[in-house]
């Protein structure tokens, strides 16, 4: 079962090490803490450089989208203030 579902609001964990953008390029250097929305759930997928398991397509507020492993995501919770 997936940790997240379509339209969940998530963010990258500080420990994220790799993701893939729409063009298929592997990227390093996280966009940690930025709010993003889940638009795709790719269960039981195995493909380098990701570990086996569920990957998610997420889209940031600026329209950029990436694929990331579920271990690198958490629910977005706005800062109290």
pLDDT, one tens digit per residue, over 21-53 is 655 555 555 578 889 999 999 887 677 667 778
Distance from C-alpha of 39 to C-alpha of 28, rounded to nearest angstrom: 21
Residues contacting 80, CB < 8 A, separation 6+: none
Quick one: how far is CA 66 from the chain centroid?
Answer: 7
Share of the chain above pLDDT 70, in %: 79
- Write out the two tokens for 17: 């090490």
- Write out the two tokens for 77: 């919770």
| pTM for the whole structure | 0.80
pLDDT for the residue numbered 22: 57
Domain ranges of the chain: 9-75
pLDDT for the residue numbered 27: 58
Per-residue pLDDT band at 74 (split at 50, 70, 90): very high
């Amino acid at each position: 079962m997936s940790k997240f579902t379509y339209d969940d609001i998530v963010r990258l964990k500080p420990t994220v090490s790799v993701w893939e953008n729409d063009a298929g390029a592997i990227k390093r250097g996280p966009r940690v803490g930025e709010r993003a929305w889940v638009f795709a759930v790719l269960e039981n997928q195995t493909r380098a450089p990701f570990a086996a398991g569920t990957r998610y397509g997420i889209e940031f507020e600026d329209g950029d989208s990436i694929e990331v492993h579920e271990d690198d995501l958490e629910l977005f919770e706005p800062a109290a203030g």
